[in-house]
Structure 1
Amino acid sequence: MAALKELRMRNNASVDIPDLPGTIHPFSSNDKSKLSFFRRELSEVLAEKQGKKILTFCFLNISVTTILLLWCNSTNSMALTAFTYLTMFDLMYLMTVLMSIWVHKQKSSEVYSFGYERFEVLAVFSSTILAMLGSFFIIKESVERMFIQPDIRTGRLLVGTVVGLCWHLVITYSIENKAFTHVVAASSSSWLQEHVSDISQSICHAVPGLSKLLLPRINPFALIGFAASFALIVVHVLIDMNNHYATDTWAAIWISMMTCGTMYPMAIFCGKILLQTTPSHLIGQLDKCLREASTLDGVLEFRNEHFWTLGFGSMCGSVHVRVRRDADEQLVLAHVSNRLSSIITLLTVHIFKDDWTRPSTFQILGDTSLLPRKPSPQGLVTRPSPEGTPVPASASYRPTINYVRSDAIPTVPAYSRSSAPPPAVLSPSFSHANNPVAMETKRDQSNGSIR
């Protein structure tokens, strides 16, 4: 009865509800939050002078592309459609510039501890892949036209070629795109550039005065624009002379193949960056630096070294250094960082003391909690230390160090001070508590003595 009475008193208890101003929304709208975030970031980008210029070029590019698509429909030309796809790539080229402006205004966060530089790489990679995908659609449509070739009207074919080429050259040479400029300079040449370079060398042998103009590697975007325009001019002439409508189909396939050949090396270069691979042109230099660092007294070997490109022009990496128990960790850290700082922008160095007599620490190097991370904006290394506390570091370049006493299973070191094999690990049953070398005992069966 007492419990029932207490329950009734609880039910009759009054609850004070505070007066809340405005309308109460029990569930927040994710769509509105995303839209507001996009508006806020776009306003920050457009606050820059270059951002307003790029946005103006984007609207003009959309207008030019729309006009060219209408002319493609009126002329029924597949070659002009393939050439119009270059102006669509110009739109993605401009969007990449806006992405670069936004990336450089962002700072590192807890979610993206290395910053937003990889967004820029992803934008270039997506642009090249979409350009290649559009070329595949053009090739598919051209193959279908080989069986039933429609008539081509050349009324606006030449006009569309001139308009498209002029706009493409304006975008290529008047807009500064640091991302694509770096990719063009760092990636390998396309097959179209190689053939044009061979032809230019032959011309320069006959006319040496043209070497300054023809010998430097031509911009691949300008080169594909000139090549596609030349193909369209040939199509216009052949159709006007002999009504060879099939030349339009073959010209469309040729323009699509040139587009794929131009975009492929840049897509491969960006894909390797996204896969966090070590740049091939830096492997020899990194090996030399590690060999020089391994000559320091106290350094036994380097393990788990991984160096990759974070963005365009910035590299980061981590390395595990096994040292002797009596080695100076600060000296090793300074020596290793001095050797690698000229190549690696963000470097994390883990120092491991050589303690091979403790079998309980054999697998500490395989612990994923010791993987390096970039310093957070507050100046703390977000890599967990053995005590679970963050290690302070500068927001600028400074190698980090992690003190862990460990001994991994002996393997042949990649960079060791001597070529001799590492010492064998004793089993715990053969180890002494205070002596790393176990005393071998043998009891005599006759008198029970130890020898």
Structure 2
Amino acid sequence: MGHNHNHDHGHHHHQVEGKNLLFSIFLNIVITVAQVIGGLISGSLALLSDALHNFSDVLSLVFSYVANKLAKKEASVNQTFGYKRAELIAAFVNAMTLIIVALFLVYGAIERFFNPEHIKSGLVIWLSLLGIVMNGLSVLLLKNDADKNLNMKSAYLHLFTDMLASVAVLVGGLLMKYFQWFWVDSVLTLAIAIYLFIVGYYLLKNSTQILMLFTPSHIDIKEIISEVHKIEGANKLHHIHVWYLNEEELHLEAHLDCSEDIKMSEFNEILHKIEHVLFDKFQINHINIQPEYKREEDSKDFIVQD
């Protein structure tokens, strides 16, 4: 059984800064408390909906922080992969919370649209400005990590949508203050909900694909087979599985029929060539291949349901 890990060739792990998350959690607690009080006093559903979204952010950020810490724990005999998939679970849960919050907002927006209320727009304007500043700061703190980590991406999207929601609430507050368009409150709430659905679906789709061990979208199994079959000594690659363990570890396991009855040292040379081809062309950095020679099986399909 050949088993190789390729961590070199320009592949570097990105270390996520947990302290940025902690600061973002603190900022969102401040925003949430202020917006709940302000929403109740002003009667603004958009402000309350923004507060609800901010509260979901606090929970999501805490979950992301814990998952980030767990992901760094060493593997053991009871957890042979460690907690490397903890951040994927956090991203999945965060995506679900975005969608659930969006459902609540849609219900509230429709109900308020048919039963509009007078809103104290001045308070709405000032609290939305507070939300823009604090969420904007949190977004800047997590921007770099979000580009390289799905868990941080989920936290970042929570905060970014909150910042956009605060901008929308600010616009609504100004329209209500100067034009008395109180129905704008419901329209903005609905717009926020639709945006949450979109980003929530994106996150849910990506995290589910990785958790279900689906073949990554950029991987073409048939192309992998074609490239491996070009290597001298490799006869037929089959029983192939390709999946992400986490966002940095792309795994392949397969069986390889060798063209000759070779020594293990000779197989190691073939495996070394396969390792380089798969990393250079497909960024696969964990390879586990079972060598075979004229092994009779009922099926030699390249994909087999074991």
Q: Would the aligned equivalents of 2:99 and 2:200 in 1 still touch at CA under 8 Å? A: yes
237, 259, 263: which is aligned to 1:302?
237
User: 2:4 corresponds to which residue?
Assistant: none
5 Å matches for 1:75-90?
75-90=42-57
Partner of 1:340: 278
SS across alignment from 1:250: helix
Q: Distance in 1 between matches of 2:100 and 2:112?
A: 19
Aligned pairs (5 A) from 1:261-276:
261-276=198-213
Where 1:304 maps in the other structure, the secondary structure is strand
Aligned with residue 170 of structure 1, among 123, 132, 137: 137
Aligned to 1:280: 217
RMSD of the TM alignment (CA)? 3.0
Among 87, 95, 112, the alignment partner of 2:79 is 112
Counting only pairs closer than 5 Å after superposition, residues 171-186 of structure 1 correspond to structure 2 as: 171-175=138-142, 178=145, 181-183=148-150
Distance 1:97-1:78 versus aligned 2 partners, 3 A rule: same
Q: Where does residue 409 of structure 1 map in the other structure?
A: 298
3-state DSSP of counterpart to 1:117:
coil
Distance 1:347 1:118, change over 3 A: same
Q: 1:114 to 1:346 in 2, by over 3 A?
A: farther
- In the TM superposition, 1:391-402 aligns within 5 A as none
1:368 is matched with none
**Structure 1 residues 301 and 185: CA distance shift in structure 2, 3 A:** farther
Asked if structure 2 preserves the Cα contact closer than 8 Å seen for 1:77 and 1:248, the reply is yes
Q: Which runs of 5+ in 2 are unaligned?
A: 1-16
Aligned residue number for residue 8 of structure 2: none
Taking the aligned partners of 2:236 and 2:144, their CA distance within structure 1 comes to 43
| TM-score, L = length of structure 1 | 0.55
1:101 equivalent in structure 2 = 69
Q: 1:353 aligns with which of 255, 275, 293?
A: 293
Matches within 5 A, 1:5-404: 54-55=21-22, 57-91=24-58, 92-93=60-61, 95-104=63-72, 106-175=73-142, 178=145, 181-183=148-150, 224-225=161-162, 227-283=164-220, 287-324=222-259, 326-329=261-264, 330=267, 331-342=269-280, 343-354=283-294
Task: Give the partner amino acid of 1:340.
Answer: L
CA distance in structure 2 between the partners assigned to 1:121 and 1:185 by the alignment: 10
Number of residue pairs the alignment of both structures matches: 280
8 A contact 1:82–1:252 mirrored in 2: yes
Q: Percent identity?
A: 19
- Report how far residue 122 of structure 1 moved: 1.1
Tell me the distance in 2 between the aligned counterparts of 1:175 and 1:344: 27
How much has 1:87 moved relative to structure 2? 2.5
TM-score with structure 2 setting the length: 0.79
Aligned to 2:119, what secondary structure does the other structure show? coil
Task: Please tell me whether the aligned partners of residues 224 and 259 of structure 1 are also in contact (alpha carbons under 8 angstroms).
Answer: yes
Distance in 1 of aligned mates of 2:61 and 2:19: 15
The 1:255–1:99 alpha-carbon spacing in structure 2 relative to 1, beyond 3 Å, is same
Higher helix share: 2
Question: CA offset at residue 241 of structure 1?
Answer: 3.6
Q: Which runs of 5+ in 1 are unaligned?
A: 1-49, 188-218, 355-405, 416-451
Q: Which has the higher contact order (CA 8 A, sep 6+)?
A: 2
Alpha-carbon distance in structure 1 between the residues aligned to 2:125 and 2:289:
62
8 Å contact kept, 1:97–1:177: no
